[in-house]
Amino acid sequence: MPDKLFIEGSLELDDFVPIGWQLSDALAFLSGKKIIHRDVAARNVLVTKRKMVKLSDFGLCCYAKAEEEYESKEGKLPLKWMAPESIEFGRFSEKSDVWSFGVVLWEMYSFGKSPFESFSHQEILSFLKNGSRLEIPESSPDWIKKIIEECWSEELMKRPEFSGIKREFYRQMEANSTRYGYLHFSKNYYHEEETTKDEDNVI
């Protein structure tokens, strides 16, 4: 069973908005529970044949402390998706997950390219500390570019919260509902009454 968001020919550009909404909704839920995922990346986003998103790989998850931050320097960590404060100081929070979400959007709109493909770990930190960022894919709508730029803000307080990101994705879906053919989401959106085993397979 594939375990990646991108399998050749399986997704189209129009799929990215509802996928982004579902992913931001899942991360907003975790944030509300004071849980930091710490491994938000396209490889951990599963999509069923009905285009339902499932966030996976909770092996690096942790609970935020009272100050809503977690410090760790142990174990192997996904540097290419990590915020500067996480790489340099081992500090994790909702805002470091937000940074990683920006990288996932970059992966989506670059159609599965790997971030920092030719960079060493040290080069990544130097690149980010200099204020440089990955070039945002041309296929990204302006509002997506804005979200990515905000997610990659050096200052944590300038990064959006997942609740706000989720609202913006929902607003965009509603604005484009005629084009995309989506209806209003109900509380039963995640609970389909009849789902075959094959339909639950990820693509």
Active centre residues (catalytic): 39
Question: Where would I find the beta strands (DSSP E) of the chain?
Answer: 35-36, 45-47, 53-55, 62-63, 70-71, 91-92
Amino acid in position 15: D
For the range 170-176, what are the long-range contacts, defined as Cβ-Cβ under 8 Å and sequence gap of 24 or more?
170/21, 172/17, 172/143, 173/17, 173/18, 173/21, 176/17
Through-space distance between the first and last CA atoms of the chain, rounded to whole angstroms: 8
Cα(4)–Cα(24) distance, integer angstroms: 17
Task: Report which of 110, 148, 98 is spatially closest to residue 13, judged by C-alpha positions.
Answer: 110
Cα(54)–Cα(170) distance, integer angstroms: 18
Cα(129)–Cα(110) distance, integer angstroms: 23
